């Protein structure tokens, strides 16, 4: 294992040359932001936060996060407007643009590095006014707590998570954030220890100290806020993938766990339905949250109608096109279905079942388990037609978020095998693929 980790360090630890180049970009951008920020009385100062400041950044993934700190009594309107003005003016020569988290922030690219100018409130620990307010505290804590050796272990862990496609806290990914990687290494000391602990993870296991109870598959306590569970933002699928990847690596260490994903597809995408529609531009977190909820709700409706949705996903293409994807066991069903009722012993329930199903029944009988059964014609046999009718005529009961209802009505449904867009093809292939790195018994 040590041999593999030493080789992996070449991909994860920046060279001295790269460090110097990054330092130049940081110095340049900090001067520009400081110059503009000093013009506003509402601003108390600026601070570099994130992986660069903590020394845990990866060579190919190193955004520079410059936080502009505002007096806590600054109005939200001024907070947003002044924050954007400072970012746009400071980085004007680099074609800045707005991105969104809880509040909008400004981003620009200087050479190969993204520079983010993010507003936050200058508050006491625990008196958070925005989600960004914790970041300066996170940075100070990790600078103080992580040794140089541990910082490189964090880099290895980040690379491991990234290569296994479970890195990133954004709603689109719902994976492990860079800060979570730092917290895990801080708790367990090294990448190897983290993987050993994760490989034997128990449901609801708590990592860190807290007196509060949380109901998630994994509980990771924020060291600066014992009431905050960092694990709440991570999907169960990604937790599971981490557990299996850790077990697989410990069983047979390989460099591929830090570099590439080995995926194989033994089935085509003909059973993947794709529902696409155009949406109005908005915060990535908002649109991703909406389309993921829509995919979940529509999958529930299809399952209730008898169509077995094995997996679902969502993706966003260029030109603000959102697509919901559903892998079905079958796109078409037999025109007959059997409804299972109560056992004949339970008189009251049997009478209700017979009354509710008698007229719709082609036949009724008692099966070998003593249950009253009803054979009926299936109302919907084609999944594509069912989904189309649901959105066209029953959108209010579909479970689609209110913010999407008007946009999703202008939709098209195709099978993934007929799709042309790159992002849709990739998302569909992901649904039918097996990750050979983690689902390996070798």
Q: What is the CATH number of the domain that holds 323?
A: 3.30.70.590
Give the per-residue pLDDT at 268: 87
Residues of the chain by 3-state class (helix, strand, coil), percent to 5: 45, 25, 30
In a shared domain, residues 111 and 80? yes
Indicate whether 123 belongs to any domain. Answer: yes
- Structural tokens at position 265: 């597809």
Separation between Cα atoms, residue 223 and residue 408, nearest integer Å: 42
Query: CATH code at 210?
Result: 1.10.1410.30
191 and 48 within one domain: no
Give the DSSP letter of residue 129.
S
Joined together, the tokens standing for residue 176 give: 């492990």
Same domain, 170 and 60: no
Residues 158, 240: one domain?
yes
250 lies in the same domain as 371: no
Please indicate, yes or no, if residue 194 is contained in any of the structural domains: yes
Residues 119 and 153 placed together within one structural domain of the fold: no
- Rg of the Cα atoms in the chain: 26
The answer as to whether 5 is a domain residue is no
CB 130 within 8 A of CB 69: no
| 266 belongs to a structural domain | no
Instruction: Report the DSSP pairing between strands 263-265 and 433-435.
Output: antiparallel
Both tokens assigned to 359? 């007229």
Q: Which domain holds residue 157?
A: 146-261
Going residue by residue through the chain (442 aa), what tens digit of pLDDT does each one get?
899 999 999 889 999 999 999 999 999 999 999 999 999 999 999 999 999 999 999 997 788 999 999 999 999 999 999 999 999 999 999 999 998 888 899 999 999 899 999 999 999 999 999 989 999 999 999 999 999 999 999 999 999 999 999 999 999 999 999 999 999 999 999 999 999 999 999 999 999 999 999 999 999 999 999 999 999 999 999 999 999 999 999 999 999 899 877 677 888 899 999 999 999 988 888 999 999 999 999 999 999 999 999 999 999 998 899 999 999 999 999 999 999 999 999 999 999 999 999 999 999 999 999 999 999 999 999 999 999 999 999 999 999 999 999 999 999 999 999 888 899 999 999 999 988 878 876 6
Q: Residue 122's closest CA among 48, 67, 84, 72?
A: 72
- Name the residue with tokens 């490189």: 152
| Residue 79 and residue 25 in one domain | yes
In the chain, % of residues over pLDDT 70 = 99
The two beta strands, 321-328 and 411-415, are unpaired
Assigned token pair, 216:
């998630």
Assess if residue 6 is contained within a domain.
no
pLDDT, position 442: 62
Please check whether residue 249 lies inside any domain of the structure: yes
Please, what is the angle between helix 236-251 and helix 191-199, to 10°? Answer: 110
116 and 154 in a single domain? The answer is no
Q: Based on the structure, what is the number of domains in the chain?
A: 4
- Give the 3-state secondary structure of residue 250: helix
Give whole-number Cα distances, 139 to 33, 45, 54, 58, 68, in Å. Answer: 19, 16, 6, 16, 14
User: d(Cα 232, Cα 217) in Å, to the nearest integer?
Assistant: 9
Report the CATH number at residue 30. 3.30.460.10
Residues 152-194: tens digit of each pLDDT: 999 999 999 999 999 999 999 999 999 999 999 999 999 999 9
**Sequential DSSP letters for 49-71:** EHHHHHT--BTTB--EEEEEEEE
Residue-level pLDDT at 373:
97
The pLDDT of residue 435 is 85
> Is-contact 224 138, C-beta < 8 A?
yes
State what percent of residues in the chain have pLDDT above 90. 87
- Residues 87, 74, single domain; the answer is yes
| Shared domain check, 403 and 430 | yes
- Per-residue pLDDT, 220: 97
Same domain, 80 and 195: no
Rounded to 10 deg, the angle between the 191-199 and 178-188 helix axes is: 90
In a domain, 13, yes or no: no
Among the candidates 84, 111, 144, a domain finishes at 144
Question: How far is it, in rounded angstroms, from Cα 236 to Cα 320?
Answer: 28
Q: Is residue 114 part of a domain?
A: yes
The reported pLDDT for the residue numbered 204 is: 92
In our burial notation (b when 16+ CB lie closer than 10 A, e otherwise), range 417-427 reads eebebeebbeb
User: Do 192 and 252 belong to one domain?
Assistant: yes
Q: Residue 44's pLDDT is what?
A: 97
């Amino acid at each position: 294992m040590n041999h593999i980790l030493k080789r992996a360090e070449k991909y994860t630890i920046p060279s001295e040359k790269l460090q110097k180049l990054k330092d130049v970009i940081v110095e340049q951008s900090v001067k520009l932001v400081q110059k503009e920020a000093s013009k506003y009385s509402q601003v108390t100062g600026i601070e570099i936060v994130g992986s660069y400041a903590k020394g845990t950044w990866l060579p190919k993934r190193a955004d520079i996060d410059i936080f502009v700190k505002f007096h806590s009594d600054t109005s939200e309107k001024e907070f947003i407007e002044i924050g954007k003005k400072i970012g746009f003016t400071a980085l004007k020569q680099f074609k800045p643009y707005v991105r969104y988290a809880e509040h909008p922030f400004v981003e620009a690219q200087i050479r190969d590095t993204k520079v983010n100018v993010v507003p936050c409130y200058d508050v006491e620990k625990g008196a958070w006014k925005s989600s960004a307010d914790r970041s300066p505290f996170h940075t100070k804590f990790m600078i103080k707590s992580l040794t140089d050796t541990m910082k490189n272990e964090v880099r290895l862990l980040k690379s491991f998570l990234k290569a296994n496609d479970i890195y990133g806290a954004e709603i689109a990914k719902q994976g492990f954030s860079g800060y979570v990687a730092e917290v895990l290494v801080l708790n367990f000391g090294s990448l190897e220890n983290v993987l050993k602990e994760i490989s034997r993870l128990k449901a609801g296991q708590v990592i860190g100290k807290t007196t509060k109870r949380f109901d998630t598959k994994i509980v990771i306590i924020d060291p600066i806020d014992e009431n905050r569970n960092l694990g709440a933002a991570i999907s169960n699928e990604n937790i599971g993938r981490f557990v299996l990847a850790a077990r697989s690596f410990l069983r047979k260490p390989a460099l591929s766990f830090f570099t590439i994903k080995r995926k194989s597809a033994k089935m085509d995408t003909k059973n993947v339905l794709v529902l696409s529609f155009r949406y109005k531009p908005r915060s990535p977190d908002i649109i991703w949250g909406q389309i993921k909820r829509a995919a979940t709700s529509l999958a529930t409706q299809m399952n209730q109608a008898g169509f077995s949705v094995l997996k679902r996903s969502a993706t966003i293409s260029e030109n603000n096109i959102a697509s919901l994807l559903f892998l079905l066991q079958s796109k078409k069903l037999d025109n007959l279905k059997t409804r299972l009722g109560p056992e004949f012993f339970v008189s009251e329930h049997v009478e209700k079942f017979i009354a509710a199903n008698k007229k719709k029944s082609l036949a009724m009988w008692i099966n070998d388990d003593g249950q009253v059964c009803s054979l009926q014609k299936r109302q919907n046999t084609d999944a594509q037609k069912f989904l189309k009718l649901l959105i066209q005529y029953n959108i209010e009961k579909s479970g689609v978020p209110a913010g999407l209802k008007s946009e999703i009505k202008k939709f098209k449904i195709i099978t993934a095998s007929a799709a042309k867009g790159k992002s849709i093809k990739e998302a569909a292939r992901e649904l039918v693929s097996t990750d050979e790195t983690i689902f390996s018994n070798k």
